[in-house]
């Protein structure tokens, strides 16, 4: 795939606060990239630097190999869907969508056709003359999308576009966005702090914390093979426990040895171990390695979620399984090798940042 | 119910004493002659060529001042919106500061500055430039009006402009608009209410002033305000003065209705 956007060594400070530190990223044509991270980690700042609303203190931005670091926002071939939609309140739906086309001097015929097409695409045919304040949140969101895509940008920047919507609408819109992305064939750079949204929608997820890239990969890679405790913790629920790598493919957790599939950590090295709650196998007492007692149990739809307290070291395992165990019941836990994910222990927060050469 | 009424009483007294009685008195004087007989003469006296000329000159100067105030205030309001917090507060403070001084004193200060042997001419001559005849001209009056009434244009405009969401402005740039397109297509339509009140608050006092034209026009230039004032003070013809005042009131009400309509058309599609 062709390289479309390259951010090289971007640093950005707000006063004394370093928001981005030597941030580099490559975006390929037609990718759906999601920037995922907790509130305040710098996601919006990255989008704003890309959109041209904020200037980086250091570093360069390339668009199709052209340096656009100093190009103003109105000259960049990318459009933004703002978090709060930012529709023009004094214009009706049609005027909003047509704004960019008018500015670019398109003919009335072209504009009419494009507006029709865009309204069709976002399922809001017949809304041309509505005023903005008479639209629901989801409708405003779709108009904001339509207003951006009629300009046929190479890249669409979306800053938590679904953040203000309720759960059901958000899920609907997620599918709609994926469909739009497929129909339009343009690159999406999407910002969210909702890990589920990131995993559902993207081709590639970039997990950010404190202005650093923590991990970059497909949703499956991010979920199944988190590279550090931050990613493991941030992406879905997980059990993160200290362990010792005895040798390649053998790790000691809670005083029990477990075969695993990771190699290259060295011998007798302290590591972090990630086990997803759905990967913990609950058995009758004696049939597994770790003995524990069921502390709590809630039914969360398809399965039960339980906290099981290990008898050896008091660690409380988060477990999801289909069988029902009673509170106070004594059980044993087990894990299969491929579901054990080993990570290096971070020595300092700085080293948490992973140097990703792309 | 009764307690609400009791609360409203002071305001009722205020309105009756401060608005209804004076207007009633002016209407009474304006529509009667010295012998208390009903007449339209005082009102129709606006058709007198001296009065018409003064009215025309007043409208012209008030319009010019309003336009100048707008041209200064509008870009300033945008600049203030976009400056950082501390600087913005300081700028507002600077432009409000003169309002803390007495209106007469401020106008008098301009008299001293603009005089033939005043400060400005003194400075011009000191650097070898010829002195200017500014005092007692129409320009001096316009200058006084602009200086005195500018804050009343800045504040309402700044008030609406500061409430325009930054992301709307950024969206316009994002869609390719140039700065002038952002101003004409986003800022201006969204700030119509502020512009309308700013225009009202500069145009009306400029139209009716007699102090500024007295002090900076040297008594030679008669605006409609001067003529009305003189009818009350010099000629002691309260009936004629009131009659002309009534015409001015009507004039102002009509222009306000006109402006409000402007505002309404803006507001239909506003927020
Ligand atoms: N204009 C600004 N001036 C000062 N600090 C800022 C400014 N914009 C952002 N910041 C700070 O930079 C950091 C990153 O902000 P950013 O908006 O990029 O976070 P985010 O990842 O988008 O968070 P969220 O998920 O809450 O939107 C925050 O600590 C924020 O307070
Ligand atoms: Mg943000």
Per residue, the 3-state secondary structure of B13-53, as one string, reads HHHHHHHHHHHHHHHHHHCECCCCCECCHHHHHHHCHHHHH
Residues A248, A134 share a domain = no
- Closest Cα in chain A, distance from residue B62 (Å): 30
Element (H, E) at A64: none
- CB burial of residue B265 (10 Å; 0-12, 13-18, 19+): exposed
Q: What is the pLDDT of residue A167?
A: 84
Q: Long-range contacts: B160-165, Cβ < 8 Å, 24+?
A: B160/B190, B160/B191, B160/B193, B160/B194, B161/B77, B161/B78, B161/B80, B161/B81, B161/B187, B161/B190, B161/B191, B161/B194, B162/B77, B162/B80, B162/B81, B164/B81, B164/B190, B164/B191, B165/A84, B165/A86
Distance between CA atoms of residues A119 and A296, nearest Å: 50
pLDDT on residue A351: 45
Task: Provide ipTM, 2 decimals.
Answer: 0.81
Judged against a pLDDT cut of 50, whether residue A33 lies above it is answered with yes
Residue A93 — pLDDT band, cuts 50, 70, 90? very high
Domain match, A318 and A216 both: no
Cβ contact A90–B176 (<8 Å): no
Same domain, A193 and A266: no
Question: Is B47-260 in CATH node 1.10.3720.10?
Answer: yes
Q: Is A88 in the pocket of ligand 1 (CB under 6 A)?
A: no
Q: pLDDT tens track of chain B, all 271 residues? A: 567 778 888 999 999 999 999 999 999 999 999 899 999 999 999 999 999 999 999 999 999 999 999 999 999 999 999 888 888 888 888 888 888 888 889 899 998 888 888 888 888 888 888 888 888 899 999 999 999 999 999 999 999 999 999 999 999 999 999 999 999 999 999 999 999 999 999 999 999 999 999 999 888 888 999 999 999 999 999 999 999 999 999 999 998 888 888 776 544 433 2
Q: Is residue A304 within 8 Å of A323, Cβ to Cβ? A: yes
Q: Do A213 and A316 lie in a common domain?
A: no
Please enumerate in sequence order all residues whose Cβ is within 8 A of that of B226, keeping only pairs 6 or more positions apart, or say none: B54, B210, B213, B214
Task: Tell me: do A19 and A154 sit in the same domain.
Answer: yes
Q: Whose CA is nearest to atom 1 of ligand 1?
A: A14
Determine how many CB atoms are found less than 10 A away from the CB of residue A156: 24
Q: Read off the CATH number of the domain in which A8 is found.
A: 3.40.50.300
Using CA atoms, how far residue A267 sits from A101, A247, A262, B122, B208, in Å, is 63, 5, 12, 91, 93
Instruction: Using alpha carbons, list the distances in angstroms from residue B203 to A357, B70, B140.
Output: 65, 11, 17
Pick the residue from chain A with its C-alpha nearest to B190: A90
pLDDT confidence of residue B269: 35
Partners of residue B172 in chain A, C-beta under 8 Å: 88, 99
Q: Which residues in chain B have Cβ-Cβ distances shorter than 8 Å to A82?
A: 167, 170-171
Q: Do A60 and A114 belong to one domain? A: yes
Contact, B149 vs B202, CB < 8 A?
yes
Domain assignment of residue A267, yes or no: yes
Tell whether A323 and A342 lie within a shared domain: no
Q: Identify from A99, A118, A144 which residue to disrupt to test chain B contact, counting B C-beta atoms within 10 A and taking the largest count.
A: A99
CATH number of the domain within which A327 lies: 2.40.50.140
Total domains present in chain A: 3
Query: What whole-number distance in Å separates Cα of residue B71 and Cα of residue B69?
Result: 5
- Statement: residue A58 has pLDDT above 50: yes
A218 and A268 together in one domain: no
Residue A231 lies in a domain: no
A33 Cα distance to chain centroid: 8
**Distance linking the first and last C-alpha atoms of chain A:** 13
CB-CB under 8 Å, A104 with B176:
yes
Stretch (H or E) spanning A296: strand A290-299
* One domain, residues A140 and A287: no
Assess whether A84 and A174 both reside in one domain: yes
8 Å CB contact between A217 and A206: no
Q: What pLDDT digit, counting tens, does each position of A145-187 carry? A: 899 999 989 999 999 988 877 888 888 888 888 988 888 889 9
Same domain, A129 and A169: yes
Residues A134 and A73 in one domain: yes
Are B173 and A82 an interchain contact pair (Cβ–Cβ within 8 Å)? no
User: Which pTM value belongs to this model?
Assistant: 0.82
**Can you give the pLDDT at residue A138?**
86
Query: Which domain range does residue A27 map to?
Result: 3-224
Residue A230 placed within a domain: no
What pLDDT is attached to residue B1?
A: 55
Is residue A357 very low, low, confident or very high in pLDDT (cuts 50, 70, 90)?
very low
């Amino acid at each position: 795939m062709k390289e479309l956007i390259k951010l090289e060594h971007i640093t950005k400070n707000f006063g004394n606060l370093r928001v981005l530190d030597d941030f580099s990223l490559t975006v390929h044509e037609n990718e759906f990239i999601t920037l995922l991270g907790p509130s305040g980690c710098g996601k919006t700042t990255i989008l704003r630097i890309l959109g041209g609303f904020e200037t980086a203190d250091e570093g360069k931005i390339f668009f199709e190999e052209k340096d656009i670091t100093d190009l103003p926002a109105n000259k960049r071939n990318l459009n933004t869907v703002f978090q709060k939609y930012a529709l023009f309140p004094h214009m009706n739906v049609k005027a909003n969508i047509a704004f960019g086309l008018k500015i670019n001097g398109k003919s009335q015929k072209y504009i009419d056709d494009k507006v029709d097409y865009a309204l069709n695409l976002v399922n809001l045919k017949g809304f041309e003359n509505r005023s903005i304040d008479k639209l629901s949140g989801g409708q405003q969101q779709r108009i904001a999308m339509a207003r951006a895509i009629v300009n046929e940008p190479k890249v669409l920047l979306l800053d938590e576009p679904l953040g203000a919507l309720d759960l059901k609408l958000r899920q609907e819109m997620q599918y709609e966005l994926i469909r739009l992305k497929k129909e339009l064939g343009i690159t999406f750079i999407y910002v969210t702090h909702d890990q589920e949204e990131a995993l559902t929608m993207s081709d590639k997820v970039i997990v950010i914390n404190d202005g650093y890239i923590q991990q970059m990969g497909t949703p499956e890679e991010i979920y199944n093979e988190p590279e550090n405790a931050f990613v493991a913790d941030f992406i879905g629920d997980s059990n993160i426990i200290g362990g010792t790598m005895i040798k390649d493919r053998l790790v000691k957790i809670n005083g029990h040895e477990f075969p695993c599939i990771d190699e290259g950590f060295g011998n007798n090295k302290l590591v972090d171990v990630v086990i997803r709650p759905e990967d913990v196998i609950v058995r009758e007492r004696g049939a597994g390695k770790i003995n524990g007692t069921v502390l709590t149990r809630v039914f969360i739809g398809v399965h039960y979620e339980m906290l099981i307290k290990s008898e050896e070291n008091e660690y409380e395992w988060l477990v999801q399984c289909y069988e029902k165990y009673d509170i106070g019941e004594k059980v044993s836990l087990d894990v299969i090798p491929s579901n054990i994910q080993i990570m290096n222990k971070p020595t300092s927060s700085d080293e948490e940042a992973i140097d990703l050469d792309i | 119910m009764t307690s609400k009424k009791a609360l409203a009483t002071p305001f009722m007294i205020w309105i009756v004493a401060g608005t209804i009685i004076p207007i009633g008195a002016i209407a009474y004087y304006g529509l009667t002659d010295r012998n208390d007989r009903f007449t339209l003469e005082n009102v129709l006296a606006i058709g007198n060529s001296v009065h018409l000329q003064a009215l025309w000159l007043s409208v012209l100067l008030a319009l010019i001042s309003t336009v100048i105030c707008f041209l200064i205030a509008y870009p300033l309001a945008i600049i203030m919106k976009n400056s950082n917090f501390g600087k913005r507060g300081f700028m507002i403070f600077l432009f409000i500061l003169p309002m803390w001084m007495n209106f007469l004193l401020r106008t008098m200060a301009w008299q001293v500055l603009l005089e033939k042997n005043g400060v400005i001419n003194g400075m011009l001559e000191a650097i070898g430039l010829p002195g200017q005849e500014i005092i007692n001209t129409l320009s001096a009056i316009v200058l006084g009006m602009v200086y005195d009434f500018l804050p009343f244009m800045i504040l309402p405009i700044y008030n609406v402009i500061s409430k325009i969401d930054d992301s709307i402005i950024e969206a316009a740039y994002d869609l390719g608009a140039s700065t002038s397109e952002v101003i004409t297509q986003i800022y201006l339509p969204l700030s119509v209410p502020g512009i309308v009140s700013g225009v009202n608050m500069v145009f009306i006092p400029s139209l009716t002033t007699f102090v500024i034209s007295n002090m900076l026009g040297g008594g030679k230039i008669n605006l409609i305000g001067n003529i009305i004032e003189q009818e009350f003070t010099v000629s002691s013809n309260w009936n004629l003065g009131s009659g002309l005042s009534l015409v001015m009131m009507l004039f102002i009400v009509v222009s306000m209705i006109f402006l409000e309509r402007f505002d309404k058309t803006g507001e239909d599609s506003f927020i």
